[in-house]
Each structure stands twice: as C-alpha cells, then as structure tokens.
Amino acid sequence: MRQITLPAFGPPDALRLEDAPAPQPAPGEVLVRVAFAGLNPLDYKLRDGSSGRASALALPAVLGREMVGEVIGAGEGVDLDALGMPVGTRVFGVRDLGDMRGTYAEQVAIPAADLAPVPAGVPEAQLPVFAGLALAGSTALTALEDDAELTPGMTLLVHGGSGGVGQMLVPLALRAGASTVWATGRSANAQRLRDLGARPIAYDTEDWESAIDAATDGRGVDRIIDAHYFDTFVPSLDHLAPGGRIVALPSLADVAPARERGIDARVTKMAPSPQRLAALAAAVADGTLDVEVSTVLSPAQIAEGHRMLEDGHTRGKIVLDLRETA
C-alpha cells in the first residue's frame, strides 16, 4: 500500500508519500481501506515536534487522526456482523488519544471501538464530510457535555466559530438548548455563522469584548468554549456571568489564570466512543450538523494542507483523498 510518512520532525515538505507493508489488524481491531482522511491542527504540531504528544511518536511515523473508508477485514475476537460492520461496510472513526498510529494511509488497522458505520444511503460525494466529522465532532460533544455541561437556557460564546470544531459546536449547543450562541470569526465568515444559528462577532472589524458586553448588558455569558486560547482566554475571563465556566480546547492550555480568580475552567480531552460517533452520524443525517469541507487535497498536496493548517484561518475542514495514491 501507499502512505504518507514523516521521517523526522520538520517543515511541511518533510512529509513523504511512500510504499509500505499493509497493516495487520491486532485482536480487537478492524482493517479499513481508507477513502479520505481528515487534517487537523494537531497534525502539524506533531509534524514539527511542538505538540506535547510528539514525544510519543516513533519515527518514521504516519500522521492523521481520523478517516472514512470501507471494512476489509478484522483481527481476532472481532465479530464484524455483531458490530453491524460486516466486510464492505463504510465506516468512519478517530484514533483514541493513546493510539499514535496515523490515518494518512491507504489501509489502517484501528480498534473496533473507535469506529461507527456511515449511515446507509450516504452518497459517495458526501464521504469527505465523514472524514472530517469524528475528531472535531467528538471534541465538540466532549466540550459541551463533559466540560461545559451546557444545559437548556444557558448562553454560550464560542471563540473560533468558523473552524472545524466551532462549526459543530454552534448547532450542537443550540440542539442542547442554549438560548443564544455568539461565535467569533472573521467578517468573511459571518454569514456562515448566521446560517449555523449563531450570532456572529467579526473580530477583524469589531471589538468582541465590547460586543459581548453590549449584547449581555454587561452580565457576560454562562459558558465560553475557546478554540483559539492564546489571545482570547485571559480576556474572556472578564466576560463570564457569575458562576460561569470557560472551556479551552488546546490540550496544553494553561487555565491557572482562571482558577487564580476562582473561575471554573476546564481543558477538553477528546473522548470518542461508538455512541458519540453514532450520534454525530445521526446529526449529519437529520440535518443538525452541516459539516463544511472547504478543501479536498491529493496526497501529493499534503505539504500544502499542512501549510494551510499552520496559517490557522481555514474555514471548515481539510481532507485528504486517499482513494488513489499512485
């Protein structure tokens, strides 16, 4: 098979498309022929060694956390029929945080618990959506359900509303009963945020802090989920309502400034499960989630994809087409 390999930490051009032996599924694992793999900011932070998780990579390594494809086999102890994933089933999934094997490959072996079927009837043209659904969607659900503990009637501010996770947070929060969701993003993405149901705050043309103060009469919001963190986390602390909570998405976020002020602060650690993946698939099927795939790249364009990730202004998801890597 073919895969994209990182021989050593470095710039985007360090990534190489190479031949490799097909993986053999271990007990409890499913063998999947990958159609599309999702790209995420963690990928470039692993590639350049800046992520705290980079030390867990055994180089040369394959990057990527999520994918969609077709079941072609399984390891010992896996009853594919009982799981509803017989050979030929289209599945999508995301590797658990402890599994550092990648998904930029024509075939992957992945635990059955990290997969869920793609709903029947999904057209081939929509498969890229499922390549970019599992990681961002599981992160969004974990942030909302486990960390923000959002309940009906609460107000929410999402920093980075037009990014891959942000575009899922907004409709999922509204479905959970949020009374109002504000979302920051560039003015060019304001209409997209409105279409998702958010009240956009264009941080490039207005001061988001003043906008939130005006919109809430100075009370602040009940919950803030911060996908940016670096230049938004500390200022956000002044815009929480009494008893409010802030959730940071970057795994290395330092929430000490909040806790020093007695503010409840959490850092999200994505917790995927078959149940959450199934819920995400259902949310796509019923129209709750409108996952935007902004860019589909060939394997030869992987360096370009990583440069786009590093730029940090990509709207929606970037996915890699692995159906033909010759």
Q: Percent of the chain at pLDDT above 90?
A: 87
Which amino acid appears at position 36 of this protein?
Answer: F
Quick check: 298 pLDDT over 90? yes
Q: Where along the chain do its domains lie?
A: 2-133+292-321, 136-267
Q: What is the pLDDT of residues 174-187, one digit of tens each?
A: 999 999 999 999 99
Closest CA to 63 of 42, 45, 43, 85: 43
Half-sphere exposure of 290 (CA within 13 A, CB side): 10
> Do 2-133+292-321 and 136-267 come out as alike in CATH topology?
no
Q: 3.90.220.20, 3.40.190.10, 3.90.180.10, 3.30.300.30: which CATH number matches 2-133+292-321?
A: 3.90.180.10
- Three-class DSSP category at 77: coil
For residue 232, with 0-12 CB atoms within 10 Å meaning exposed, 13-18 middle and 19 or more buried, which class applies? buried
Res 119: pLDDT: 93
Q: What digits encode the pLDDT tens for the residues 30-67? A: 999 999 999 998 999 999 999 888 899 999 999 999 99
pLDDT at position 326, please? 54
Which architecture, in CATH terms, is 136-267? 3-Layer(aba) Sandwich (3.40)
Mean residue pLDDT of the chain comes to 94
pTM for the model: 0.89
The residue among 272, 26, 14 whose CA lies nearest residue 136 is 272
Which distant-in-sequence residues (6+ apart) come within 8 Å of 254 by Cβ?
Answer: none
